[in-house]
Each structure stands twice: as C-alpha cells, then as structure tokens.
Copies of this chain bind each other. A is one copy, B any other.
C-alpha cells in the first residue's frame, strides 16, 4: 500500500471544554504537501443499541436534535463515559436512562468511525434481545425523549420518509440486522 499517514508538525487546541474539543493541526501529507490548518474534533466514543423485544420489534427513540433542528427518530444511544468501564456498559446505561428498558442478552455488532475525516471517535453498536420496559426513564434535564417498539417494516418506512434520518443510526441499524440474519444479500444475485 502506497498511502501513508500524515505527519503532525504543530497542534493547538482552539476549544477544549466539557462539550467540545477542537484541535488545529499543521500537517505534512505523505506526498509532502503542507496542510494548515486541519481541524480535528476529539470526541468520546458513542454506544448504539439495536434493541429487539421478544416479538422481534425494534426500540426507537424520538428527540429534538439541535444540529439538524428537527425531531429525529433514532436508536437508543449515548456517549461512553470513563465511568462506564466498557462500551457495552454504556449501551446498557443509556438504554435504561433513555427508555427504562433492559435486554436479556447482548451481542457486539461493530465499532466503526463516526467520521474518519475529522473526528477521532468510534461508534460501538450492540444488539439486545428480549428487551422490555422495567422502569421509568431517567433522562437528563435537557432531554425529552419518547420511545416505542416498532416493526422492521415501520423502521424502513421511517427511513424512506425521512423521519429516521441520522446517518450513524442507519449504519448501526443495518449492521445489527445483518448480524442477526434479518437482512441478507439477494440470493438470486450471488457474487
């Protein structure tokens, strides 16, 4: 492979607080080109849960998202805190806090990059089985999250009509569906 990492010549933080860490790097590419500045967002990893109930329905959450300025339907998710210990522990915590639900068993699906171009963090995705409500949600003061179990056909309809429109969550949904065998390449078109 002829592609090599860039070298960082200088690096400085422009913003560094509880909510955002923005770094400006001065880099030299593998072909000797100077890139200045290249902005990097240092972010905590995220956990997503594709949570099925006993009937195979999928748990979705709905909340206002200020980036897009719309009410967004998504999978239960959250930032992985250092106190969580593991990505799975964070997924279980967020599931309980946002929806009041727990699952019996979990499988690890994947850990991918949120945005390789400009962000440092990964998205860890898990599937949960036999998910059910055991408590009232304990959301943060700034959160107002609704949740419900819906069929896979309904989730696809939400995607196709733009209600479920957060790219990271669409990736985790499909990855989880393929993991559990609910989505397969068309056997009539083998490769």
Contact = CB atoms under 8 A, between A and B. Distances in A.
Interface string A10-39: 000011000110100101011101010111
> In the complex this chain forms, how many copies of it are found?
2
A145 to B, nearest CB: 8
A181 B186 contact: yes
Contact of A3 (B1, B120, B144): B144
Nearest to A187: B184
A85 interface: no
Given A33-B141, A152-B191, A19 B5 contact: no
Contacts of A108: none
Contacts of A44: none
Interface size class of A (residues with CB under 8 A): 35 or more
Nearest to A6: B66
Interface of A is mostly: mixed
A96 B70 CA distance: 34
Contact of A159 (B74, B110, B170, B191): B110
A115 B46 CA distance: 12
Contacts of A166: 112-113, 115-117
Interface of A: 1-6, 14-15, 19-20, 22, 25, 27, 29-31, 33, 35, 37-41, 56-57, 62-72, 74, 110-120, 123, 141-142, 144, 146, 151-153, 156, 159-160, 162, 165-168, 170-172, 174-175, 177-178, 181-186, 189, 191
Nearest first, the 7 closest Cβ-Cβ pairs linking A and B are A65-B116, A174-B174, A171-B171, A68-B116, A170-B171, A67-B118, A112-B165
